[in-house]
Amino acid sequence: MGRGSCAGSPVGRSSADDTPGRAPVTFASRLDTRTMNQIWPVLLVAALGVIGTLGAAISTQFLTTRREDRRWNLEREREQERWEREREDRAAQWQREDELRHRESREETYKQFMETIWNWGRRAADIRQMIEAREGHLFIVDTDELYEASVNAIGIMAELELSASAPVRDSARECCDVMSRFVTEVDALLPMSEGADGLDVPVRLHDSYKAVARKTVELMRADRGLMSLAAIDPHMLPNARPGSPASFGQDVDRFERFRLGGLGKARASSRS
């Protein structure tokens, strides 16, 4: 029996090959398995290489983009800062130019106002002398020039309202008011006679004018940073003493020297 059973089974076949439902393992299948085992590492390495290359490209592109964005942001910030500095510089330059034009305009207005009230003061002093002298029984005083100077002073006062400091504006208004009242009082006395009443009113107004004009001139000089004329040359200011008819120093050269050496020097220094 034993021999017969041995004769009935193939030689060299394992018991596993006789398992029902399983395909027999052949040499070709073993070769395919060995080949696949050799290919899979290659494919895995290739896949890892592709993934690594793709990841490196993506990361490089991402880093490059971030670097470009950062550089662009820095350039934009620098450009914005440069533009802000230029805008501030232009604004500061425009402000300096506006201030310079404002100072020049104010100095010119001050000069015109002083010239006007000084011319008015000279004419008013002549009229005062005529009133105090009371020469003749009947005389008529020509107040046209006096009235015209008063109107000019009031016209310049409109410019002072825009450019002058508050103390100068207040003093200039007071000066214009006194000048107008003086002209009105003189006109009310015309024609004048030797024994007319009310001749002292223009005299008192003229004294008030001298005091106000003196204060106005000093305030204008102080507003421009100049020394007081009382410390430089008191004769160039109105004589504020009652009973003194002279409104200003009679030397015209002194007036010209003050006009050119006072506000003129201030303007030259402001331009420099």
> What's the whole-number mean pLDDT along residues 104-129?
88
Range ranked top by mean pLDDT from 38-42, 108-112, 126-130, 254-258:
108-112
Amino acid 113: pLDDT:
92
Amino acid 133: pLDDT:
75
Amino acid 56: pLDDT:
79
CB atoms within 10 A of CB 234: 12
Q: Is residue 7 part of a domain?
A: no
CB 202 within 8 A of CB 182: yes
The position carrying tokens 């620098």 is 78
Which pair of structure tokens corresponds to residue 56?
Answer: 């490196």
Lowest-confidence pick of 61-75, 113-127, 167-181, 221-235: 221-235
Name 203's bridge partners. Answer: none
Total tally of structural domains belonging to the chain = 1
How many angstroms separate the Cα of 147 from the Cα of each of 116, 121, 184, 210? Answer: 11, 12, 9, 17
Angle (CA) 86 91 94, round 5°: 125
Lowest-confidence pick of 17-31, 65-79, 97-111: 17-31
For residue 138, give the 3-state DSSP assignment: strand
Confidence of residue 61 (pLDDT cuts 50, 70, 90): confident
Name 192's bridge partners. Answer: 139
Q: Is residue 158 part of a domain?
A: yes
Q: Which residues span the domain enclosing 160?
A: 102-271
Amino acid 6: pLDDT:
43
Q: Is residue 151 part of a domain?
A: yes
Amino acid 44: pLDDT:
76
Q: Is residue 28 part of a domain?
A: no
Q: Is residue 61 part of a domain?
A: no
Average pLDDT value for the chain: 73
